[in-house]
Chain A
């Protein structure tokens, strides 16, 4: 019943980047680095109502060494910054970072002695999702943006940023 029955034992031609990026963008293993109330919306996004599995990103890995996407969900303070850096450093290339909510993005309204004013002071970020906290729809939109971004990359890229 699928398209494959029409092709039989045939073959298709494509570019390596296209094939690899297609596989990468629909099979994100994410590492949830959840520190605050944004975690509730994160859980909602992953649960059945919003069902992030539709986009192939439903599988959280609780080891950074097995993860592709680091979701930084919530406020990061100076005390925690070395931990976040270390988690990021343990992830293998290729890897992407999503800043989830305004606190992770800019410190939000915590403009004070304790809070990192955006996790991009610590690690590079690919996608910023605004909101306090973001609605699950916004998270899914961010994920789609990340997929678009991944599909423009090349397997020859070496970020090592």
Chain B
């Protein structure tokens, strides 16, 4: 099954696909973030990707666009897998939420927001999911100080 999904997406979104690669049948497509909702709808409704397996973010500081949204999809109907990535600028860390398409995106996006500070537009309840109230910053960003601690109660010394 060589590059069927890549070719399909390239044909459907010729202006949005930035880069693709295919490694032993694992297909990856990098698209512009503006095209994400349209691509999501296409994947779900027409290609049968009914399962969002994972959604996360990678920080490529000092590169700009700094962040990359990484989504893994699975189609239980066709047994297809696809990795979809979107570059997100550090100066404008916003991207459309996938919650309208896959309800499971909800907590993934909250985690991505908590750890990387990406704002998912259209998310119903975008607040921290792992760190506590009062935690400042986003700890998995590459510029978060490695030794920085934010205790909730004073430490004994």
Do A and B truly interact? yes
Interface set of A (CB-CB < 8 Å, partner B) = 78-79, 81-82, 85, 112-114, 116-117, 120-124
Closest to A120 in B: B156
In the complex, chain A residues whose CB is within 8 Å of the CB of B149? 78, 113, 117
The docked-state distance in angstroms from the alpha carbon of A146 to that of B148 is: 34
On B, residues with C-beta under 8 Å from A are 130-132, 139, 144, 146, 148-153, 155-157
Whether A113 touches B132, Cβ cut-off 8 Å, given contacts A120-B156, A121-B156, A122-B155, is no
> When the two chains form the complex, which single residue of B150, B152, B153, B156 contacts A113, counting CB atoms closer than 8 Å?
B150
**Which of chain B's residues have a CB closer than 8 A to the CB of A82?**
152-153
Q: A113-B144, A113-B149 are in contact. List 18 more A-B contacts (CB 8 A).
A: A78-B150, A79-B131, A79-B152, A81-B151, A81-B152, A82-B152, A82-B153, A85-B153, A113-B139, A113-B150, A114-B130, A114-B131, A114-B139, A120-B156, A121-B151, A121-B155, A122-B153, A122-B156
Whether A78 and B151, one on each chain, are in contact in the complex, defined by CB atoms closer than 8 angstroms, is yes
- In the bound complex, how far is the Cα of B130 from the Cα of A116, in angstroms? 15
What residues of A have a CB within 8 angstroms of the CB of B157 in the complex?
A: 121
Most buried by A among B130, B139, B153, B157: B153
Determine how close the nearest CB of chain B comes to the CB of A74; give it in whole angstroms. 17
Instruction: Please give me the 7 A-B residue pairs with the lowest Cβ-Cβ distance, nearest first.
Output: A113-B139, A121-B155, A79-B132, A82-B153, A82-B152, A78-B151, A81-B153
Chain B contact residues: helix, strand, loop or mixed: loop
Question: Smallest CB–CB gap between B74 and chain A, Å?
Answer: 29
Complex formed: what's the CA distance from A124 to B132 in Å? 24
Which of B144, B148, B151 has the largest count of A CB atoms less than 10 A from its CB?
B151
Could you pull out 11 A-B pairs where Cβ atoms are within 8 angstroms? A78-B149, A78-B151, A79-B152, A81-B151, A85-B153, A112-B139, A112-B146, A113-B149, A113-B150, A120-B156, A121-B155
Complex contacts, B151 vs chain A, CB 8 Å:
78, 81, 116, 121
Given A79-B131, A79-B132, is A113 in contact with B155 using a C-beta cutoff of 8 Å?
no
Residues of B contacting A122 with CB < 8 Å?
153, 155-156
Whole-angstrom distance between the alpha carbons of A113 and B152 in the complex?
12
Residues of B within 8 Å of A116, CB to CB, are: 151
Q: Bound state CA distance, A124 and B144, in angstroms?
A: 30
Residue on A nearest B132 in the bound complex, by CB: A79
Complexed CA–CA distance, A78 and B148 (Å): 12
| Chain B residues positioned under 8 Å from A114 (CB to CB) | 130-131, 139
Q: Which residue of A lies closest to B151 (CB)?
A: A78
CA distance A10 to B52 in the complex (A): 78
Residues of A within 8 A of B144 (CB): 113
Question: B141 to chain A: closest CB distance in Å?
Answer: 11
